Amino acid sequence: MENLLSMTDAKEEIFDILNIASRLKSGEIKEKPLVDKYLGMIFEKSSTRTRVSFEVGMNQLGGTPLYLSSNDLQIGRGEPISDTARVLSRFLDCIMIRAKSHETVKELIKYADIPIINGLTDKEHPCQTFADLLTIREYKGDFNRKFVFIGDGNNVCNSLLLGAAYTGMDMTVACPEGYEPDEEIYNLALEEAKQTGAHISIEHDIHKAVENADILYTDVWVSMGDEEEAEERQRVLQEYQINSQLLSEAKPDAIVMHCLPAIRDQEITDEVMTSEQSAIWDQAENRLHAQKAILYNILKD
């Protein structure tokens, strides 16, 4: 894998990366292969889990992370991303960028001579998907499951659709009309699912969607950049909350996931978040192990 812009870049290596993540987490892999490697971390958006997981992970693998706020870089004053890419390629071994626009990361890849990792854009969040797949496999043992994403078909949902299709996991997106995932990505997931046997669908009836579900997943209704639509989004999505009643309509051993941060008692109730069926805190921890596996895959000589 040369770059990780989209889950499409990892199509052939998903299971290899997940296996590396499991071995790193268990301590089976103890080596520190990234000594003398430098990771630049560019942030155009605030971050908790992405920043900490990459910074700690790079250190644990023996490398050195550098936090680069866009406000501190010259791109904050108008330097073209192409110039930034060319210069940073002379100093660093890899760049992870959390960007406002997917096009920014595509341009960075075009002009950089080093690997680029998408730490989140408005279109995809592949780093989160690797942590999610790792969590599902830990809890359920395999991907022969029904996964239901509930709420806004956002960037996280887009990457999960591809991850589900590639691993053969059935996935239903339960959302209101007008809040469906990216059409291009959804159609690609449908095509890829034909090869793996996964069943990919969109369902507007949330109660129908969660029948026989093994995993319920949600994200905030108002993502970064959507603040002006907050009131309307909350009104439209209010019926798509994960609460105890909805959870009872899934399988008895269903788990609940959320990529965080969560607005408690909005998209998910506090009761469900802290219940025995919540996998959320293990999911958050797995950002570290998944991100280490991505770095290991891209940078290990």
> Does the pTM exceed 0.85?
yes
Mean pLDDT of 226-245: 91
Residue 241: pLDDT band by 50, 70, 90 thresholds?
very high
**pLDDT at residue 88, as a whole number:** 96
Name the catalytic one among 125, 137, 145, 233.
125
Residue 229: pLDDT band by 50, 70, 90 thresholds?
confident
CATH superfamily of 7-125+286-299: Aspartate/ornithine carbamoyltransferase (3.40.50.1370)
Name the catalytic one among 145, 233, 258, 287.
287
Name the catalytic one among 122, 128, 157, 175.
128
Name the catalytic one among 127, 175, 219, 291.
219
Of 138 and 76, the structure prediction assigns the larger pLDDT to 138
Span 242-290, pLDDT tens digits? 999 999 999 999 999 999 999 999 999 999 999 999 999 999 999 999 9
**pLDDT at residue 76, as a whole number:** 58
Share of the chain above pLDDT 90, in %: 91
Residue 120, beta-bridge partner list: 98
Residues 58, 295: contact at Cβ < 8 Å? Answer: yes
Q: Is the pLDDT of residue 163 over 70?
A: yes
Q: Looking at the chain, which residues constitute the CATH 3.40.50.1370 domain(s)? A: 7-125+286-299, 126-283
Name the catalytic one among 259, 283, 289, 291.
259
Mean pLDDT of 33-54: 95
Sequence-ordered alpha helix ranges (H) in the chain = 14-26, 49-60, 81-91, 102-111, 126-140, 155-167, 183-196, 206-209, 230-237, 244-248, 270-273, 280-299
Name the catalytic one among 49, 93, 94, 98.
98
CATH superfamily of 126-283: Aspartate/ornithine carbamoyltransferase (3.40.50.1370)
**pLDDT at residue 77, as a whole number:** 62
Is 287 designated active site?
A: yes
Span 65-123, pLDDT tens digits? 999 987 777 765 678 889 999 999 999 999 999 999 999 999 999 999 999 999 999 99
Is 98 designated active site?
A: yes
**pLDDT at residue 138, as a whole number:** 98
Is 125 designated active site?
A: yes
At 207, which amino acid appears? H
Q: Is the pLDDT of residue 301 over 80?
A: no
Which tokens belong to 18?
């997940």
CA angle 118, 36, 20 (to 5 degrees): 55
